[in-house]
Chain A
Amino acid sequence: MGITRGVMVTVLFGIVLFVMIPIYVPRPSFIPGFAPPPDMWPRVVSMLGMVLGLLLLGLSLSKKTEAIADPDSASEIRGNTPLRTLLARFGLAVLAFAVFVIAVELLGFLLACILLLGAVLVMTGYWRHKWISLSVAVVLPLLLYLFFSNALNTRFPAGTLLRAFGL
């Protein structure tokens, strides 16, 4: 755990420092020479992050020092569930989020929220209370939609697919 984390942190900050900053943080020519350029701060932070990542890695290599770098272990709550099941559940949740973003474009905010809420209720295991889940999935987004659009004048996306059908 500690070694993986150290590697991940080092690699993450390394990617930012060596790949992303050169591409996505330009140095405008109009800035006077003595003034710190826009990439100065991200570079400082990334370098510090890399050093900390290496430190985490170094501390995790020794049993004596591991406790300093690795006080907690999230794996404790994993229990006996196989890793594959956990990854599948996580993948499904992320997929639901991605589908929601696409569904807002097609079906509109309200319908997409109803679908997402239904899907998430299934994933949390609460769907066994079918009628409560179904009522909450439909009524809550509807009430929020009415409140926000009427009281606060929020304009929610209507959805291209529904618009095409004249809805």
Chain B
Amino acid sequence: MLNDLLIAFQAVATIENFLIMAAGIWGGVIIGAIPGMTGTMAVTLALPFTFYMQPIPSILLLVALYKGSTYGGSVSAILIKTPGTASAACTTLDGYPLARQGKAGKALNMALYSSCMGDFISNISLIFIAAPLALLALRIGPPEYFMLMVFALTTVSGVSGRSLILGLVSACLGLLLATVGEDMYGSFRFDLTLDMRGGLAVAPVLIGLFAIPELLKIVVFRNTGTQKAMQLGDNRVTREEFRRSLKSMLKGSMIGVVMGAIPGIGPSAAAFSSYGEAQRSSKNGENFGKGEIEGIAASESANNGCCGSTMIPLLALGVPGDVITGVMLGAFMIHGLTPGPMLFETNLHEVYMLFIGMLFSSVLLFGAGKATMRFFSHISRIPPGLMAPIVLILCLFGIFSISNSMYDVIVLLAMGVFGFFMFLFAIPAAPFLIAFILGPMLEENLRRALAMSRGDPSILVSSPITWLFASLAVFVIVITVRQQLMKAKA
């Protein structure tokens, strides 16, 4: 294996490949940092250009765009409280408060360090444990999936706000909104208009929920006093801060690797689960959500930890885990490579080239992140009264261009107003979002499980894996309620 890796190393280490990967990472970071422009959009738009390239450079370009955009999402999450991508929503919780304290640079640096670490560990795991993890993921059926997602949602609801009940209310709202559109039997639910039959896309809901309420807050409360605090300010992560966050980074990377390897779970759920775990186990748990650097380390290491491992089911089983890997599957096919167990036999050289290229891209991510940070730091100098309307226009153009649809723009604006009401009632937005993303899978797996058991709900606790996740969910609820009761007494 080592010999094969060395040969692949020689083949990948060309100027041309480096330039392609650097361009991909750089482009991804910029696109990910612009609200309304998603990683999916970046990868999809680049796909036609890869037709004219060699197979491996073209896949590396797409992977680089994916990684870059995953990190890029954190830049706007920290600087303007608008996550560029869904997976960066969790970074907003601590990144923005840090930016308001005049430590945006510190938050961005920590996001970069943890993203690179998560990314590197993810790539290593892809190389060494692809096959065993893919086998494990294969054994997970609908009841296990359902319980896994219930656990993820419970964790998110518990950690996102300061009240578990409000977190659960938010999750219920998200789950309900996710039912709009066509269901698994082809019937339509809540189709108040014809457009609603297609459901609500993630991008307008996400951007609407996080970006537009910020504008409305400025318009309604004229609260523009954040300008000074938004300066890049202190940008050094001290050795002590890094050491303190290392445990969360490593844990987050592993959570990202495992959750990324399971099709459908993805970086958003991984980031929130990692954040919840970090908050639970940290000595500074009560500071999470107020600008705790460990929170950024946890969420960013987890979402980038998914980047390499989402390739595990794709390469080993031929199963794309999310939209981006779905696009990559298309790219593989276009170049005559069929992902799946046979790929490791027929195209082992290409697989190793891809592995090596992905390792290189972690280093490039670090360089591009450092350079882009300085570039994007200028955003923080724009007054909120000007910045918020600019973000609105960026969102409008970005959202419209995804599917050339005014319906998505209306959803964006409506979600913004809804998000503002949620803010007024102190209902946290993060559980809503993650429930909205996981909702269709959660429902589908529940209904499949119940159909398998002919309506017997005991199937949901029929295996050790379901018991494990159910117990973890109960554990999270008990711990959170206990903490809140203690706080209320104090």
Task: Say whether A157 contacts B454, CB under 8 Å.
Answer: no
Which of these, A1, A93, A133, A154, contacts B220 with CB under 8 Å? A93
Report if A65-B488 is in contact (Cβ < 8 Å); known contacts: A20-B190, A74-B426, A101-B413: yes
Which of these, A35, A41, A45, A93, contacts B219 with CB under 8 Å? A93
Residues of B within 8 A of A42 (CB): 176, 179, 189-190
Does B296 count as interface, using CB distance less than 8 angstroms? no
Residues of A within 8 A of B190 (CB): 20, 24-25, 42
User: Interface residues of A, CB < 8 Å — how many?
Assistant: 80
CB proximity to A under 8 Å, residues B92-139: none
Task: Say whether A125 contacts B406, CB under 8 Å.
Answer: no
Cα(A69)–Cα(B163), bound, Å: 6
Residues of B within 8 A of A31 (CB): 185
Residues of B within 8 A of A79 (CB): 221
Residues of B within 8 A of A52 (CB): 165, 168-169, 172
Residues of A within 8 A of B462 (CB): none
Task: Say whether B169 contacts A49, CB under 8 Å.
Answer: yes
Report the minimum CB–CB distance from A145 to chain B (whole Å).
Answer: 7
- Flag A108-119 by CB within 8 Å of B: 1 or 0 each: 010001001100
Residues of B within 8 A of A14 (CB): none
Report the minimum CB–CB distance from A113 to chain B (whole Å).
Answer: 6
Cα(A4)–Cα(B172), bound, Å: 18
Residues of A within 8 A of B349 (CB): none
Task: Say whether A97 contacts B394, CB under 8 Å.
Answer: no
Given contacts A68-B485, A104-B409, 19 further A-B contacts (CB under 8 A): A1-B425, A5-B427, A25-B190, A34-B455, A36-B450, A38-B189, A45-B175, A45-B179, A46-B172, A49-B176, A67-B487, A71-B163, A71-B426, A90-B420, A109-B400, A124-B384, A125-B385, A141-B393, A156-B400
Provide a sorted-by-A list of 17 A–B residue pairs whose CB atoms are within 8 angstroms. Answer: A9-B425, A26-B188, A34-B454, A36-B450, A38-B187, A42-B189, A77-B221, A86-B221, A101-B409, A101-B410, A117-B389, A121-B385, A126-B383, A133-B386, A136-B389, A141-B397, A152-B401
B residues in contact (CB < 8 Å) with A: 45, 161-163, 165-166, 168-169, 172-173, 175-176, 179, 183, 185-192, 215-224, 383-386, 388-390, 392-394, 396-397, 400-401, 404, 406, 409-410, 413, 416-417, 420, 423-427, 443, 446-447, 450-451, 454-455, 484-485, 487-488
A residues in contact (CB < 8 Å) with B: 1, 4-5, 8-9, 13, 16, 20, 24-28, 30-31, 34-36, 38-42, 45-46, 48-49, 52-53, 55-56, 59, 64-65, 67-74, 77-79, 81, 86, 89-90, 92-94, 97, 100-101, 104, 109, 113, 116-117, 120-121, 123-126, 129, 132-133, 136, 140-141, 144-145, 148, 152, 154-157
